[in-house]
Amino acid sequence: MASVVCEVIKHMMYKIDIANIYLGILLHYLLVLAAVLIFGYAFNWVNQLPVYVLAGMCGVVLILCCYLDISRVKADIDEINGLCEKRV
């Protein structure tokens, strides 16, 4: 359930055009963290892990996902550029 909410947040962030990339990443992180904390209180994750550990885990996962997104986009760009060079 938390994953679905985080995926919806990700799609919402793609729809919102924020000029400053760092502000967009910060807003995305805060929204995901809010969702995780809400689910954490609902399912007693907070009783097992401190809030700062959940926040850190969200940060690490977000950084990893951003890196994977960037590398996927870079691979797509390289493939498109390679196809364009073959056509010319």
The pLDDT value recorded for residue 35 is: 86
pLDDT category, 80, cuts 50, 70, 90?
A: very high
Q: Are 28 and 10 in contact (CB under 8 A)?
A: yes
pTM of the entire predicted model: 0.64
Query: What residue segments make up the domains of the chain, in order of their start?
Result: 1-86
The string over 65-79, giving b where at least 16 C-beta atoms fall within 10 Å of a residue's C-beta and e elsewhere, is eeeeeeeeeeeeeee
pLDDT in tens, 16-52: 877 787 888 888 888 888 888 888 888 887 777 788 8
